[in-house]
Chains A and B, each alone.
Chain A
Amino acid sequence: DAKTTQPPSMDCAEGRAANLPCNHSTISGNEYVYWYRQIHSQGPQYIIHGLKNNETNEMASLIITEDRKSSTLILPHATLRDTAVYYCIVRVVGNNRKLIWGLGTSLAVNP
């Protein structure tokens, strides 16, 4: 079973920041937080990952709380093309290589 909890759906206005929360209260010290997204009918796309520090790349920012029990993915200026299902995944890197997926958050970016 997935070790994360996400709201099933969210809305965001185009051009505004989209903040997608994720709870992972049982996360272990050697587990990373990964974010993927799946645009309708396409294969999932890797976005970002982090352990305990905040991370930023060209797609998004990842904010992880100090106790690591929750995180937020931030899309700074959402566009219509960001409409997708966003998955937050906790992953142990090493022996457990597979990704365990929940139901994700369906983000609708509205014009």
Chain B
Amino acid sequence: NAGVMQNPRHLVRRRGQEARLRCSPMKGHSHVYWYRQLPEEGLKFMVYLQKENIIDESGMPKERFSAEFPKEGPSILRIQQVVRGDSAAYFCASSPGQGIGYEQYFGPGTRLTVT
């Protein structure tokens, strides 16, 4: 059973461009979480999605950031008009449910560099 997959692993964008980060959850997992990690800091929750629904987006910046988890295909975190402050590692996690016993399993992350 393959783990959580994220691509690309490294992404370089110039200021003002768009960044698209993809996350394929583990097989059988319908819950996806996105976290951001700035250098030398802990992870910060961004958004929690179930298939076709955003459940909690309390950690998402109000502008330029959006996320989706369509019925078919991977979850996408989209950052429009990137700025240098968006440079970070973005981690996706998935779980089969939300209760005890349904732990979050993390992907390897996408490292975004904005030049």
The total of chain A residues at the interface (CB under 8 A) is: 20
**With A98-B56, A104-B42 in contact, is A43–B100 under 8 Å at CB?**
no
Partner of A98, one of B59, B99, B109: B59
Whether B109 and A42, one on each chain, are in contact in the complex, defined by CB atoms closer than 8 angstroms, is: yes
Query: How many inter-chain residue pairs (CB < 8 Å) link A and B?
Result: 56
SS of A interface (majority): loop
Asked, given contacts A43-B109, A45-B106, A46-B105, whether A97 binds B48 with beta carbons under 8 Å apart, the answer is: yes
Q: Is the CB of A101 within 8 A of B44?
A: yes
Let me know if A97 and B44 touch, CB within 8 A.
Answer: no
Complex contacts, B33 vs chain A, CB 8 Å: 97-99
In contact, B91 and A44 (Cβ under 8 angstroms): yes
Interface residues in chain B, defined as those with a beta carbon under 8 Å from any beta carbon in chain A: 4, 31, 33, 35, 41-45, 48, 55-56, 58-59, 89, 91, 93, 98-100, 103-109
Q: Using a CB–CB distance below 8 Å, which chain A residues touch chain B? A: 2, 32, 41-46, 49, 87, 93-94, 97-104
